Amino acid sequence: MRDRRKGSTAMSTVALLGTGIMGTGMARNLLRSGLEVRVWNRTREKAAALAADGAVVADSPAEAVAGADVVITMLADGAAVARAMAAAVEGLSAGQVWAQMGTVGVASLRELAGFAEEHGLVFVDAPVQGTRQPAEAGTLVVLVGGPADPRLDPVFAAVGSKVLRVGEEPGAATRLKLATVGYAITVTAAIGEALALAEGLGVDPDLFARAVTGGPMDNPYLQAKMRAVLDRDFTPSFTVRGAEKDTGLIAEAAESAGVSVDLAVAARARFHRADALGHGDEDMAAGYFAGFPDQP
């Protein structure tokens, strides 16, 4: 029988539930580091692609987690995580460590932590900061709230270039993640709005790019998102629909804390319009199209 106690450094199997944009990159880096990885995804085809990399593709969450030392959830939202973990119950064992690494918001995290306590799991709040490219390169920033468990050390080392421990209780990392992702999302919305305004005023958007490049407002993130708009290359690193979801979580958390997040609320409205225009699965830089609500 495998030792799945907190003090054990033995690591043989990681179960990763959720192989979307982020989960796929993370799974490949876990495999490259020499870990045994089982993957599950609601749309099986997305998980099946990882078989060529050496992953074991499970038909159910329960099959994926059975006997695993570490369980990772990297799903779209709290409801999806709750459904997957409920379906995994028959395969769970007391003492397994569960790293919740997606962005689910404060309210959902409390419910998930309660589920973990009910089933005797070691629950670690560990959302990641980064998009497709860092996930594929293994350079995510892992924000960690919860107990330090040595079984997670090789996992975090495989998927991230930086681990930032922010508290002993689950929730601290999620609160920080909402602040950091809010910054990225609102900056992206501002870039799209500025480019749309330039175009609407009859200004070549490339002139905007030339005006800000090399000046005090310039930075690599601006260049990446601006280039996506100018080249009309919206290959998703983080989708419009994902940004809309996260700004909703930010607004929900802010309201409970008595904080006004006007930019996040405005950004959410822009991403909602872009989604309605058919850009929901594109990179969040496609929030640019929200500037032209009357155009298909």
pLDDT tens for the 296 residues of the chain, in order = 344 444 444 557 999 999 999 999 999 999 999 999 999 999 999 999 999 999 999 999 999 999 999 999 999 999 999 999 999 999 999 999 999 999 999 999 999 999 999 999 999 999 999 999 999 999 999 999 999 999 999 999 999 999 999 999 999 999 999 999 999 999 999 999 999 999 999 999 999 999 999 999 999 999 999 999 999 999 999 999 999 999 999 999 999 999 999 999 999 999 999 999 999 999 999 999 999 998 86
What the block records as the tokens of 25 is: 């990159």
pLDDT for 2: 41
pLDDT for 12: 78
Name the pTM for this structure: 0.93
The Cα–Cα gap between 131 and 129 comes to 7
pLDDT for 251: 98
Secondary structure of the chain in the HEC alphabet?
A: CCCCCCCCCCCCEEEEECCCHHHHHHHHHHHHCCCEEEEECCCHHHHHHHHHHCCEECCCHHHHHCCCCEEEECCCCHHHHHHHHHHCHHHCCCCCEEEECCCCCHHHHHHHHHHHHHCCCEEEECCEECCHHHHHHCCEEEEEECCCCHHHHHHHHHHEEEEEEEECCCCHHHHHHHHHHHHHHHHHHHHHHHHHHHHHCCCCHHHHHHHHCCCCCCCHHHHHHHHHHHHCCCCCCCEHHHHHHHHHHHHHHHHHHCCCCHHHHHHHHHHHHHHHHHHCCCEHHHHHHHHCCCCC
* β-strand partners of 36: 13
pLDDT for 8: 45
- Please list, in sequence order, all residues whose beta carbon lies within 8 angstroms of the beta carbon of residue 197, skipping any fewer than 6 positions away: 291
pLDDT for 295: 83
